[in-house]
Chain A
Amino acid sequence: MASMSGDGATCKSEATVVTDHFPVGLRVLVVDDDVVCLRIVEQMLRRCKYSVTTCTQATVALNLLRERRGTFDIVLSDVHMPDMDGFKLLELVGLEMDLPVIMMSGDGRTNLVMRGVQHGACDYLIKPIRDEELKNIWQHVVRKRYNSSKEHECSGSLVDNDRHKRGSDDTECASSVIEDADGVLKPHKKKRDAKEEDDTEIENDDPGTTKKPRVVWSVELHQQFVSAVNQLGIDKAVPKRILELMNVPGLTRENVASHLQKFRLYLKRLSEVVQQQGGLPSTFCGPIEQNPKLGSLGRFDIQALAASGQIPPETLTALHAELLGGSTSNLVLPAVEQQNLLLASLQQAKCIPVDQVVAYGQPLMKCPPSISNSKHLSQAIMSAEDVHSGFGSWRAKNICMVPSSNPTWLAAPNSNMLMAMMQQQQQWQKQQHRQSGPSESNHSINVQPSCLVLPSQSPVLSPQSNNSSGVVQVLDRELKPECGLNRLSSAGSLSPSCSINADNSVSLQLHNSSTAFGASRQLPGLIPNHLDLPVPYKSNSSQVLHQGRMTNPGVGKVTRIVVSPGKVLSSP
């Protein structure tokens, strides 16, 4: 297999540096429960000189992706799978790992393809898949990287910073390209972003000396903001009053106002998304199930609650506040020191970059199509559950990047937030545990403000029920058959009808559709011959074909075609 050589696109330069061998070595993960297709696609991909990993189960694939972050460039997934709906997998991968996902299916009906698009698929291939189609999948990888880096440039803070970053990180990129073991281009890119954001933070958090006009909302700042809003009530929260409550020197009313606006939008999206997607709690019960190590499930619960569609904005705010602002007292470190600490730890964290945030609620957010912003917003709330045990655990599963297109709100504070989260995590959880009393597992949490109690999520629920509903959904939609029995009179359709014909033999009458059967000389039907119809065996093809077509007088355009295939076979 060709050695891994990514492209240099992740180096955040305007022009993508592409190595000579690209896209050789593109790392593809293929997921399909059908082993035949899997094997064929695998072989085709190998022929394209890609590096292929195959999986028959979606859950296994997800684990693979989570455990080995950055070892795959693109995912190909079947739509119909027994353990998890392909679309769910698609969402999860897109949200957690931000990898391009291509769907495959034997069913190319428009509604399914539409669903694929809506769930964020880069492409939708219809089986049988040809190798020409697979040759070009690398474009999705490159495209995604281009788009992300464009986002970064727009959101990007300070030119000087950028340049500096680029300079130092290009070398990182180069080395990462060459390396195979750590060859994780994306994480490096993200690491760089994190640093960049930290740098801006460092400079901006010092209000007095800041030369930059933009205020970056750090974790503490945001917490203060949220608790202020909470105090005032989301409806009554006026920037002026919030400002007063927050009592942060150097913060202007305008800053608060814009931040408030964003916050409101975020809450609105949360509830919107929730309404749009029913049954979502199960979505991230999936992740829960797969990552039992995760301690606190504050995020899950919030999202679950949100998903239940019963959370008014105030509650959300309150929850948000709880989440973030539980104990500001915890963060006694002055902002700058905290940044340094964070940076230091960042540099230590090898594989997994810092600002990867758990995004359990993201499936929630991602479902509506145009949701790039809310994704980030939701990520702010979500923090790495497993961070609570320390930086070491940052390598753990459920962290993913925040490709921030919304820097002021989230991207910047992200890394800080992680730190804060980490510390608050335990705090909050302890609180919750105390409050929830007899709750046996982390799954159940009492939420004070609205007294919504989240029952402990049984992990068994989600994939199964989700899957079945997913399947049901899919199948329900398939009820609009391309070749409908309803359209008996249309010659172009293929439909079976069963009838006992005059011969007293059972036959399947098939409308002959040239599209379905190819050339008109092909013989699509076969009358089971275990009855009284004698069928001569002809080894000569021409004779077989010219058995001719008999029209059944009873039914208009039905064409019954007798085929003598060479042998009379009895049913097994």
Chain B
Amino acid sequence: MLGLGVERLRADMNRLLALLFHQGVLDEQYLQLQQLQDESSPNFVSEVVNIYFQESEKLLRNLRFLLMDREFSDYKKMGVHLNQFIGSSSSIGAKRVRNVCVAFRVASEQNNRLGCLRALELLEHEYCYLKNKLHELFQFRATDRAAKTASSCSQVPSSALKQSALSAAKQKRKEMR
């Protein structure tokens, strides 16, 4: 009974992951990240991804700030930001985000302001999507972990814990929709 719950949790998590791969949101690099996680750095993936979020949001803000300026002409600066964005996105396996950045960079190299604006919007969309999905993933994992630690304690309360964890996860998923 408990086992089934956990299994389902994991199945959902894996399905989400598969979806993201399928959509091209993530690629193998993300798997590399997962492999890098071990006992010495148990939270490696979420740590890196959180850093990525922070940095990316800074970059996005900068990009938007640059583009919103009517007298904007500093494409080079934009290129610099984009390079960083490309690098970090590809490093965590955020494939779609990276691709949009590359397109963005091309537009900026051609001083195509309109193209840049469009690319920026697209980028923001992709980024938001990625962020949400990754959060979902992490929630799965957190729940999973909670369930694991719960099961390592005594039986009776653990079942309750697991149940609540499961329902919490379900709730969250519903919310996300």
Which A residues fall within an 8 A CB radius of B?
A: 33-37, 39-40, 43-44, 46-47, 78, 80, 82, 105-107, 127-131, 471-472, 475, 478-479, 481, 483-485, 494-498, 506-508, 510, 516-519, 521-526, 528, 537, 539, 541, 544-545, 563, 565-567, 569, 571-572
A131 with B32: CB separation less than 8 A: yes
A524 with B109: CB separation less than 8 A: no
B67 close to chain A: CB less than 8 A: no
Given A518-B27, A524-B96, A572-B128, do A44 and B103 touch, yes or no (CB 8 Å)? no
Looking at the assembled complex, report how far the CB atom of A28 sits from the nearest CB atom of chain B, in whole angstroms. 16
In whole angstroms, what is the CA distance A33 to B107 when docked? 24
Please classify the interface of chain A as helix (H, G, I), strand (E, B), loop, or mixed, using the class held by over half of its residues.
loop
Partner among A36, A472, A510, A545 whose Cβ is within 8 Å of the Cβ of B103 = A510
In whole angstroms, what is the CA distance A524 to B48 when docked? 24
Please give, as numbers and ranges, the residues of chain B lying within 8 Å of A484 by CB-CB distance: 106
Contact code string B38-73 (vs A, CB < 8 Å = 1, else 0): 101100100110011001000010000000000000
Partner among A39, A494, A567 whose Cβ is within 8 Å of the Cβ of B47 = A39
Which B residues fall within an 8 A CB radius of A?
A: 18-19, 22-24, 27, 29, 32-33, 36, 38, 40-41, 44, 47-48, 51-52, 55, 60, 76, 79-80, 83-84, 86-88, 90-93, 95-96, 99-100, 102-107, 109-110, 112, 114-115, 117-119, 121-122, 124-126, 128-129, 132-133, 176-177
A485 with B110: CB separation less than 8 A: yes
Looking at the assembled complex, report how far the CB atom of A462 sits from the nearest CB atom of chain B, in whole angstroms. 19
A522 with B103: CB separation less than 8 A: no
A37 with B41: CB separation less than 8 A: no
In whole angstroms, what is the CA distance A34 to B109 when docked? 21
Please give, as numbers and ranges, the residues of chain A lying within 8 Å of B79 by CB-CB distance: 475, 478
In whole angstroms, what is the CA distance A129 to B117 when docked? 30
Looking at the assembled complex, report how far the CB atom of B2 sits from the nearest CB atom of chain A, in whole angstroms. 26
In whole angstroms, what is the CA distance A43 to B37 when docked? 9
Given A498-B118, A523-B24, do A569 and B125 touch, yes or no (CB 8 Å)? yes
In whole angstroms, what is the CA distance A39 to B36 when docked? 11
Please give, as numbers and ranges, the residues of chain B lying within 8 Å of A518 by CB-CB distance: 24, 27, 95
Some 27 contacts from A to B, beta carbons below 8 A apart, are A34-B88, A36-B55, A36-B92, A39-B47, A40-B36, A40-B91, A78-B87, A80-B83, A80-B87, A127-B91, A128-B29, A471-B80, A478-B105, A485-B106, A496-B104, A496-B118, A496-B119, A498-B119, A522-B24, A524-B99, A526-B125, A528-B122, A537-B177, A541-B19, A569-B125, A572-B124, A572-B128
In whole angstroms, what is the CA distance A47 to B36 when docked? 8
Nearest chain-B residue to A131 (Cβ)? B32
Partner among A128, A524, A526 whose Cβ is within 8 Å of the Cβ of B91 = A128
A483 with B125: CB separation less than 8 A: no
In whole angstroms, what is the CA distance A35 to B58 when docked? 13
